[in-house]
Each structure stands twice: as structure tokens, then as C-alpha cells.
Structure 1
Amino acid sequence: MPLTRASDGSLLIAATPEAVPIRPVTAENWNAVEAALPEPQRRFAAATGFTPKAGRIALLPGEDGGLACVLFGLGDAGAPSRDRFLAGKLPAALPPGDYRFEASDGFDGAEAALAWLLGGYRYERYRKPGEPRPRLVAPEGADAAAIARVAAAVAAGRDLVNTPANDLGPAEIEAAIRDLGARFGATVAVTLGEELERDFPLVHAVGAASPRAPRLIDLTWGKAENPLVTLVGKGVVFDTGGLDIKPASNMLLMKKDMGGAAAALAAAEMIMGADLPVRLRLIVPSVENAIAGEAFRPGDVIRSRAGLTVEIGNTDAEGRLILADALALADAEEPDLIIDFATLTGAARVALGPDLPAFFTEDGALAEAVAEAGERVNDPVWRLPLHAPYASLLDSKIADLNNAPGGPFAGAITAALFLRRFAPRTKAHVHFDLFGWNPSTKPGRPEGGEVQTARLAYALVAGRYPAR
């Protein structure tokens, strides 16, 4: 019987005698595995050219002609380049049916099960569903419920990023957060209209040109006496660049510019699903950066929620503007920890590529914890410096600061320094500059929307505030 169902249709199931064994094979154990195979299977594996190279698969028949077992190559056991989510390629490679991993030295069944569910994700809103994906027996000793919760949260976040902007505007982001809040008994408040213009002027300015009203969505959950953890996610549902319009090639993926909000939602779902002993706050400013007569302009000066005046150097640097107002709201409570997520700068992608988000924090111990959590759950990041002297690049001749200094240098750092100006009280503040997209399919990471750093953030919070 099923234990749970991921939103993509893959299942993590209880033990069943019909499950076909998947035998992990390394370069080190292949001789022993091969010798233990029945002669017909050994000959079949040789005839099909199976080797234990990472990612190789052999479907071995039984005497009745059915599928008896699967050989799954892992490569060299100690290879530093081994993909820990290699098992995530199996759901797309195996025929429908039930499977189970055989125990093997050095093989992490729980991690492989998570990779299986993550790799089984499919976005099928606009097309006919494909054939059923294979199901996996929960590995013995693994916390199947926890694995399923994480996979379901990732799938929900991916769904948001993959949804095109004609079907995902600020109202739909609000609806997703309200649905999430209803599931866990959280409170959700929304600010829009004249109140938004008064209290969150940067959010209002960025979204004013769109017929879809900008808003700030604020979810709170948990007991008041618990330490406050605040997640902030950039929710730009589509970014034309505004009056500093992007070229067409740079606009093609801009439905993913709300990837920070999706990551924040996914992390919040994991935290609440695990009932961690925190008071959680989720703040998402959501806008469409469109072009119309109401659009904000280069050279405009806007007074932020924090009171700082911001000269608009570039309307395509809109993400940091809406985050600035959201961070000012978050910082006023002086939370124990702020984590913000944003698809913020091309500079971070040039430096680190699409797979490795940049992160920034002034807290050395927190930085170590972030890096450790990312390594532990295979959600990697790389720290870039908050180099204080670069703050002068944000200087404006007529305002407190400029949102987009000219020049080609240190774009990710200056963006992070800009954000820090709006959360001065909270020293434990981590900023993630992420891509939010898998350019090509890799094990456990199908091409398309991705909630990078969400699993890391959950692991970080769970380690910092362990369940009692």
C-alpha cells in the first residue's frame, strides 16, 4: 500500500514481495556481484555490455521472461565526482513497476530514495500525462514520511517556477501561500492597493505598471515563545526589465524570476511539515515588472519603507527593490534568523554557473553552518564576500543610495550589500542569489524550474532548532 504520493505521480511504497531488486554495483564489488549471478543473467549482462560505470543500467530477465533484477552502476566508490543523486535517473529509465534497493556497502538508501522522488518529477499541466512512473519501496531504516515531505515540497515549488506568467501572477502567488497556510494552520495577511503604496513604496513602484496588482504576502506560523525565523522570497512573476527593457533572448526564462519565492515556500512547507520548534514568518513581495505609463523610470528617487531614499539606476534591478521593503519589515522584529532567496544577479551566474547559488552573510559561524548543511543534503552553495569597501559603488549624488551602480564589477556583491542596508538589526542574515532553473536534466534534477537552497534552508533551520 502507498505511504505517500509525490505530486509528480511517483510513489514511495511499503514493502511488497513483487518489488524488483535494484542491485547497486561499484567498480570494487562488480566481480563479486557478477560471480553471484545465475549463468543466464551473467551472460545477458555481458552480451548487453554492462559495466559498473556510473549511471549504467542492466535489466536482467528471470526464468519466466520477466524482470528479475536491475544492475545499477555507481562507478568508483570513492570518486569525488560521483553524483550523490545518481539514483534520480532511474524513474525515467525503468519500466513501470515496483522496485526496491538492495543494501550495499556505502550506498545511502535514504538519499537514493529522495533522489528517486526528485527525479520522478514531471510538469504536465499543459499536456497529457505520460505513462506511470515506477514506484520505490521505502528503504529499511529510512524516514519515509520525511523523505516524502521534502520531495512534495520541492515538487510544489518546481510547479510554481514552471508555470508561465499568463497563469501565475501575484494573485496566484498569494493563493499558493494561502493554501499552504491553510494546510498548517498559519495566518496569512496581504497588503495591496493604497496601503501597499504607503507602507511598501518600492514594491508598489516596481509593480505599478502591471494590470495585475502588486502585493506583499505575510504568513506567520508557530508558537510565539519559539525563536523567530523569517524567510523572504523574491516574487517577480515576470521581468521585462521595465523601461530598461531586456533583449528578447534574456526575457525567455523570466517566468522563473519568482524562483526565490518558490524556494521560500518550499522551505516553509518543509519546516512546518516537520513541526520544527520555531516561529516562522514567510514574506513574499510579488509583482510583475511591466511596461506602461505607470512604470517607474531610471532616475526616479523613491523613499523606501526603511526611510532610505533610492535612486533608480536601472529598472531591471527591480528584485533588490522589492526585497528591500520586505527585509525592512522582517528586520523590525529582529528575528533570530533571516534567510532571503532571490534570482537576483547575472553576476552570480557568471561567477558560479547555474548549479551553484551564491550566498552572503557576515556571520562566520553561520556561513560554516550553511555550507555544511548544503553539503550534507546535496544542495550545494558557495560563499561570496560582503566586501564592505564596495558599498561606495552604491553611492548616489541625490539619494541615500543607487539600486544599480554603473560598471561591470562585483554585481552580486553590490546587490547583497544593497540588501544588507535594509536589515541592519538582524546579524544572522543569509542571502541566497540563485538561478532557480536546471538548464538540462541531471539525476534528480529534471530540466526546468528548481527550488535551489530550499532543502539546505530546511536542514539549516532543523539543525539550529532541533525538534524536541
Structure 2
Amino acid sequence: MSRLSVFISNQAPADYYSAGTVLSINGQTAQIHLADPQNDLDQIKKAARSLDNSGVMQVELSGSWQIEQQWAFAQSFTTTTKQNHIKWCDDNNANELSHRYQAMIFTRNIINATPEDLSPEILANTCQDWLTSIDAKHITSKKWVGEALKEQGWMGIYHVGRGSTRPPVLIEIDYNPTGDNNAPISACLVGKGITFDSGGYSIKSSEGMLSMKCDMGGAATVTGALGLAILRGLKKRVKLFLCCAENLISGHAYKLGDVITYKNGTTVEVVNTDAEGRLVLADGLMAATETGAELIIDAATLTGAAMVALGEEYNAFFALDKALQQRVLDYSAQEFEPSWGLPLEKWHQNKCPSAFADTANSKAQKGGGGGGASNAAGFLSRFVNEAGKGWLHIDLAAAYNASGTVHMPIGATAQGIRTIARALLEE
């Protein structure tokens, strides 16, 4: 199949094109007209979506493109069914773009996978296998499955996942390029891996449940980020903790009013079985904290409240360590992945009170009430060090598009992998 050659042009299109046109096609050549150079990435994304919607299958980026222009085009042109159909410019950016694309495709494809094909164990194994394919020499892992979680005290993952016939899993993936088994762990990544979220007995509506295959987006994102960091030359030891479960209804599912006792002694009353992500992340954060790592980043499609606050274009950052939060916000800007800081203080730990436990897992009202995203982050802060030093929580509001937009195709975005990879390399 012949490729369409796509050029960047700083000239306006010919007179016979309507005002506002950013794309013109002549035979096997297309030009993206950047009428507003200050908004070039936005225009390029719209043009890429137009080409995809026109049925163009193969493109070659020709002429002079900056690296972020090429990447913006690739993000928007690549769909669930059309991948690896782009030939990069013949310049010195091809290697970095190839690494980004590899990580993006992995992240998007696993998030977009049907939940029937992606059980908690398959999710854990797929993430491990992909990282091993990048650097088999330095990847090891161990995992706890089903009843083994209960025996080891990982009670959040166990209780959320016990309603499914497919058992929950906590997997620890150790990337250790030093060759020294006693090498300190520089950073830990923790990902929410709910392979399908029915809401449990706090059941979602049919419309709300339709896209809940994406609720393992945190696990996919941190895995994609670690893979990208390795491809970029990461030399530090990093551990990845994926908290994997299906949140389903059955005679053995966890229930409203249950109290979960965690390894650190914290007791949690379940007032909403659809606030399950924070319950599984608590285990992963405790496991990460036990390593002594100076940097811990967790990522999760955690709250609808973050999407209400920021829409589907920005990820939300929360931290008690404000200096860390600002540094990673700077990384996100440098990596062209929009993010925004939302409030988190120590007192957010007490925003979901319980008469029967140290805390509830939410407020017993629709959507968790006002400030739901901050309250969820406050809950998580109970499971890291007392001051929250070195810990950042990312609520992935921009992880998934339930419908296509003028900028992005339907499905997973992989937004966040570049920011987290940058933090692993820089911190």
C-alpha cells in the first residue's frame, strides 16, 4: 500500500479551500497548514484525525518536522485498528520516537483489551512479559494470587477481588540493572489494575460500566512508563507493584458495611464498593513503602471527581510533598502531557469518617461528595510515610476517551507514560 507523504507548511492553503482549513491533499501528498504557529500541536492533531477519518492508512512524515510535531501526529493518527502505519522523518529523532511509540502502543492496547481476555493474572503476566521483552536480563518478579494475598496480609486486593472466580493478584516486578541484589531501590511505581469494575454491590449504571475495561489504566500506565524509562537508558533500580482484581458481584463478594484491617493496622469501613481502587492501591503503597524507596508514584483511574474538575485532557496530581509535586508538574509540561495539581493536605485523611473503623473508604453519597478526588488521595496518604515525603498520586482523568474527539481517537490515550518515565530518570 502506498504511503501518503505529509508535509508541514507555514503557508495558507490555496484560495479554493475554506477559511480555517489546516489540511490540503493533492494526490499522494498532504500539507498541514500551520496558520497559528503558537498552536501548532493542536492543529496537527486535528489534521491527523481528519486524515484518519478520510480513510488514509499509511503516512510518511516528510520535510521538516520537530519531534513534538511528529509525536502529536502519531498520537492522533494511531487508532485501535491502525498502528505502526507511520514512517518518521529521516532525522535524529527516530530512535526516541520509536521508543515512545512502543510504550504507547503497549499501554493503549492493554487498556483497550476486552475484560474477558484480561483477567487479573493475565494483566500481571502481560505486563511482566512486555518488560522482560525489553530487558530480560534485569527483570525478576514475584506475585501473590488469591488466598495467598490473605495469608500475606494484602487485604485490600484480596477483598475487592474475591467476588470473581478469577483470583486477584499483587505482582512485584523488580528492574535491577545494577546486577547487585542488595542495591537500594531508587523508586517504586504502583498501579491500579481493576480489569473490570462493575461497582460491586454499589453497582454502576449500564452506561457507566461500559468503559470499565479501562479501570486497569493505572497498571498499564506505570508499566508503560517503566518500559519507556528503560528504553531511554534507566540505570536505577525500580520496583513496580500492580494491584490487580475484578470488582464483581457474587455470593463471595465484599459488601457494604464490611471492615477491612490492613497490614499497618488501619481499619477501613466499606461504605461504597465502587470506591475499590483506593482499597487495592493501599496494599501496593504499603509494599512500596516497605522497600525504603525515596520516590513512590502511584497512578490510577481513581475518581470521576477528577474528571469533573479537569475534563478528559488533564491528569490530576496530588502530594503532601509539594516540592515533588511541582517538579513532576514541570516534567509533565516538558513532556507535553497536560497535568494539574489538586488540593491534598493531611486533614484530607479525615474527610471520610466512620463510627466503626479508623476511616471509611468514601462518603456514603453519590460520587463521594464534594472534593472526592482529594478525599481519595487523603485516604491513600494513610499508607505511605507519615509526612508523605517522596510520594505522588496521579488520578488519570485523561487515560481514556469513551468517544473520539477532534484531537484524539476513541479509547486509551497512554497520557502520563512520558511524565512518569521522566521522573524515574530525573529524580
TM > 0.5: yes
| Residues 81/95 of structure 1: CA separation in 2 closer, same or farther (3 Å cut) | closer
Aligned to 1:59: 25
Aligned to 1:7: none
Match of 1:456 among 397, 419, 422: 419
Q: Could you give the per-residue CA deviations for residues 307-332 of structure 1, whole angstroms, max 9, x where no partner exists? A: 21111111111110000011111111
Query: 1:15-164, aligned counterparts within 5 Å?
Result: 22-26=6-10, 29-30=11-12, 45-47=14-16, 49=17, 53=20, 56-61=22-27, 67=28, 69-79=29-39, 82=42, 85=45, 88-89=48-49, 92=52, 93=54, 95=56, 99-103=60-64, 109-124=66-81, 135-142=86-93, 144-164=94-114
Mark the structure with the bigger radius of gyration: 1
Aligned to 1:285: 243
Check whether the contact 2:272–2:364 (CA below 8 A) recurs between aligned residues.
no
Deviating 4+ runs (over 6 angstroms): none
Q: Could you give the per-residue CA deviations for residues 364-413 of structure 1, whole angstroms, max 9, x where no partner exists? A: 22222222221122211110011333332222222121111235211101
Q: Which shows bigger deviation, 359-368 or 411-420?
A: 359-368
Check whether the contact 2:400–2:413 (CA below 8 A) recurs between aligned residues.
yes
Structure 2's unaligned 5+ residue stretches are none
Q: Which shows bigger deviation, 115-124 or 93-102?
A: 93-102
Q: CA deviation at 1:50?
A: 6.0
Q: Which shows bigger deviation, 443-452 or 201-210?
A: 443-452
C-alpha distance in structure 1 between counterparts of 2:77 and 2:4, whole Å: 18
Match of 1:391 among 345, 349, 353: 349
Aligned to 2:232: 274
Aligned to 1:316: 274
Check whether the contact 1:391–1:417 (CA below 8 A) recurs between aligned residues.
yes
| Residues 135/257 of structure 1: CA separation in 2 closer, same or farther (3 Å cut) | closer
Query: 1:308-387, aligned counterparts within 5 Å?
Result: 308-387=266-345
| Residues 274/444 of structure 1: CA separation in 2 closer, same or farther (3 Å cut) | farther
Does residue 1:423 correspond to 2:384, yes or no? yes
Q: Could you give the per-residue CA deviations for residues 78-136 of structure 1, whole angstroms, max 9, x where no partner exists? A: 34994574564376258455633323xxxx52112223332342324xxxxx7x97542
C-alpha distance in structure 1 between counterparts of 2:380 and 2:348, whole Å: 13
Instruction: Report the residue type matching 2:144 in the other structure.
Output: T
Task: Percent identity, please.
Answer: 30
Instruction: Report the residue type matching 1:187 in the other structure.
Output: T
Q: CA deviation at 1:182?
A: 2.4
Count of residues paired in the alignment: 413
C-alpha distance in structure 2 between counterparts of 1:195 and 1:308, whole Å: 20
CA RMSD of aligned residues (A): 2.6
Check whether the contact 1:259–1:343 (CA below 8 A) recurs between aligned residues.
yes
Check whether the contact 2:74–2:86 (CA below 8 A) recurs between aligned residues.
no
TM score, norm. by length of structure 2: 0.89
Instruction: Report the residue type matching 1:110 in the other structure.
Output: I
Aligned to 1:182: 132
TM score, norm. by length of structure 1: 0.81
C-alpha distance in structure 1 between counterparts of 2:390 and 2:202, whole Å: 34
Q: Which shows bigger deviation, 414-423 or 437-446?
A: 437-446
Structure 1's unaligned 5+ residue stretches are 1-9, 11-17, 35-44, 62-66, 125-129
Query: 1:421 is paired with a residue of what secondary structure?
Result: helix
C-alpha distance in structure 2 between counterparts of 1:345 and 1:145, whole Å: 36
Instruction: Report the residue type matching 1:165 in the other structure.
Output: P
Check whether the contact 2:259–2:270 (CA below 8 A) recurs between aligned residues.
yes
Q: CA deviation at 1:189?
A: 0.8
Q: Could you give the per-residue CA deviations for residues 56-93 of structure 1, whole angstroms, max 9, x where no partner exists? A: 221235xxxxx3x4321222123499457456437625
C-alpha distance in structure 1 between counterparts of 2:148 and 2:244, whole Å: 15
